[in-house]
A and B are shown apart, each in its own frame.
Chain A
Amino acid sequence: MGSGAHVNDSPFPVAETLCPVVANDWVNDSYKHLILDAAHGAIHAEPGQFFHLLCPSIGENVPFYRRPMSIYRIDRAQGRLEFLYKIVGRGTTTLAALAPGEKLNIFGPLGRRFDFETRCRHIVQVARGVGLATLAPVAEAAGQLGIRTTAILSARSPKHLMSIEYLRSTGAGVISVTDSEGTSGVEAVEDIVRGLIEKEGGDFLLTCGSNRLLQLLQRLGREYGIAGEVALEQHMGCGIGMCFACVREFRAPGGGITYRRVCWEGPVFDIQEAVSW
């Protein structure tokens, strides 16, 4: 367990699965932590991938399409999938109403995973808000491979910081910065990242959830010649590359701008190809 890719050799590796809810608890005033009992196939998921969730319909909240949710934790030992989500719209509102024992129809795993295993020795990941959920499984997988991770967590206030214990338990170093303490400004984060690169051998940059942090890491990545990846979000239709609804702008290799599907070419992209928003 826990080394490299988990190859699913089924001819149909992407499936709809009905998963019983194990827990769906509040983490703070706007985030919930969903734990699902995942059947055999669904557990073949990798950090950076997502599942497309068929959120229930309740009253006026009738989400027609599924909702993409990046994987927060893959617990292969217990056969569980975990998601950390912020309640923002119709889909996450009805998702929040799911009680233990109820079943959720999930479709996946979908999308391109993070590709870090052979590319680095010390990952510097910078996450804001729900971006943390997407990057956390990298810390766990990296820890098992002996790759060091330092996670810089940015939030509005200390009480909005999440997952510090979980990240520490994977062996990751955790540095938290917050708006209320005045430590989360771009200059402050820049100093921390420079220190990690210059003094601690930081050699791979990961981010999710903040435009400003993406721009910062793109700039530092170029300056130091360090590779990195970004996980992007977008409203999705199908989640499997068919409808082309979830495109975002990217820098085309030959110059100019091109659209790519977040669900299919991503959601993990080369950090320098992403266009900030």
Chain B
Amino acid sequence: MVDMRVRIGEIELKNPVMPGSGTMGEGLARVMDLNRIGAIVTKTITPDKREGCVPPRMVEYKDGSLMAIGIPCKGPDHYIEEILPHYRAYATPVVCSVSAPTVEAFGQLAAKLSVPGVSVIEANISCPNLEQDGKAFGMDAEASARVVRRIKESTDRPVWAKLTPNVTDIAAIAQAVEAAGADAITCANGMLGMAVDVENFQPALGNITGGMTGPCMRPIILRMAWQVARAVKIPIIGSGGMATARDALEYLMVGCSAVQIGTINFVRPTAMLEVIDGVEAFCRRKGLRAARELTGAMVPRREFKEQQVA
């Protein structure tokens, strides 16, 4: 028997596999047993009601997609009354993802959503900061830290900071949110991209730009997870391009304590179960007694020198 439990700060998960925010929903309960996954991560909630981006919302590539969905949301009351009850039936902890246009609104929203049934607040700081000309909070270390600090003041739940990959130095952002009190870091959200519908001389997405996600992104986000792991002591949850157990093992070995499976849920709805079973089988094959032994288990090659990564 492999011990699949992992600890993310003060909370323990029965295994290290969970969905990325916005890539699962109540519909998944019709397909598989949500008691099997490590956590339920709900789609980002905003303080206001939003319809989301104008369609088209999706461009497909061979190994991933560009999506501009824009966080459609019916507000926090709807979340508490209509969405959360769907997950009461499960013993799996719920991670509630939040986003807001100002630091103060982040704090108020996190307080409002710290209700029974919510175990963790994940701060999605990839959204535009209205106090800084719409530049994403997550692109600025100081703004990221302010959001985390404000949320920590307003809730007793562990706070995970979900970073954006659209930065030059992700380690610096990671250190800033760690110093601000984040209990863990989720690395990372979608990478900004765009596409043109040349036939019609138009942007392919209604929103012009969108988030690039899926397997094609894995090498880049994996590199970021590794950089973050070397920069902070708090646990890291990898998120980017995982489709199989092998992919998840990469993230665990570079230093993640858990992983979020995103886009591939749309193609293979039971992908998370395959990842859980595959990680367990790998541990058995390698003679590991616990999945947590995988975290940071990558050993450097002998000749590795820092200059070589430049």
- A residues neighboring B (CB under 8 Å): 11-16, 54, 62-66, 107, 234-235, 237-248, 258-259, 264
Contacts and interface: CB of A to CB of B under 8 A. Distances in A.
Interface in B16-61: 22-28, 30-33, 51-52, 55-58, 60-61
Contacts of B57: 244-247
B245 interface: no
Contact of A245 (B28, B31, B67): B67
Given A12-B30, A64-B64, A244 B267 contact: no
Contacts of A14: 27, 30-31, 269
Interface of B: 22-28, 30-33, 51-52, 55-58, 60-65, 67, 69, 72, 214, 265-270
Contacts, number: 89
A65 B267 CA distance: 6
A238 B27 CA distance: 10
Contacts of B22: 242-244
B75 to A, nearest CB: 14
A240 B31 CA distance: 10
B51 A66 contact: no
Contacts of B31: 12, 14-15, 240
Contacts of A54: 267
Contacts of B60: 63-65
A12 B32 contact: yes
Contacts of A235: 56, 58
Given A14-B31, A64-B61, A245-B69, 16 more contacts: A12-B32, A12-B33, A54-B267, A64-B214, A107-B269, A235-B58, A238-B265, A240-B25, A240-B269, A241-B25, A241-B27, A242-B27, A245-B57, A247-B55, A259-B51, A259-B72
9 contacts: A16-B270, A64-B62, A66-B267, A237-B58, A240-B30, A242-B25, A242-B266, A243-B266, A264-B27
A9 B269 CA distance: 20
Contacts of B64: 64
A258 B55 CA distance: 12
Question: Which of B30, B61, B64 has the largest number of chain A CB atoms within 10 A?
Answer: B30
Contacts of A244: 22, 52, 57, 69, 72
Nearest to A54: B267
A241 B86 CA distance: 14
A243 B67 contact: yes
Contacts of A13: 30
B69 A243 contact: yes
Contact of A243 (B23, B33, B55, B63): B23
B62 A242 contact: no
Contact of A237 (B24, B65, B72, B268): B65
B61 A242 contact: no
A168 to B, nearest CB: 36
B52 to A, nearest CB: 6
A273 to B, nearest CB: 15
A237 B268 CA distance: 11
B25 A16 contact: no
A107 B55 CA distance: 25
